[in-house]
Amino acid sequence: GNSVTQMEGPVTLSEEAFLTINCTYTATGYPSLFWYVQYPGEGLQLLLKATKADDKGSNKGFEATYRKETTSFHLEKGSVQVSDSAVYFCALSVGNEKLTFGTGTRLTIIP
């Protein structure tokens, strides 16, 4: 079956620090990979996605590269802000099948 293993949190960083949240996956078939973000008290928002190997998804300064050889899709940002504090979910889907989510990583940025 499909599964997503995500770096456990919570993660606390100082403002302007470098962020990495690890995500690895197993999938039957060729998955599309996603990062979703959930800000406090809100629903999920799509942050970025990649649909094939070596694709890089990017948005709001965040980046993630689809690495087929390591089955990974790590989320990175060079300089985090307080407003980036949220819960981040890595997810995958194969074709039109359901999304499979990781457990989520709570990120807190302190000024």
Partner 1 sequence: SAVISQKPSRDICQRGTSLTIQCQVDSQVTMMFWYRQQPGQSLTLIATANQGSEATYESGFVIDKFPISRPNLTFSTLTVSNMSPEDSSIYLCSVEKARQETQYFGPGTRLLVL
Q: Which of 3, 20, 26, 51: binder of partner 1 (CB under 8 A)? A: 51
Do the beta carbons of residue 35 and residue 75 sit within 8 Å? yes
Cα(65)–Cα(76) distance, integer angstroms: 9
Burial class (CB in 10 A: 0-12, 13-18, 19+), 102: buried
Our finding on whether 99 is near partner 1 (CB under 8 A) is yes
Q: Which of 73, 84, 89, 109: binder of partner 1 (CB under 8 A)? A: 89
Our finding on whether 1 is near partner 1 (CB under 8 A) is no
Our finding on whether 77 is near partner 1 (CB under 8 A) is no
Our finding on whether 73 is near partner 1 (CB under 8 A) is no
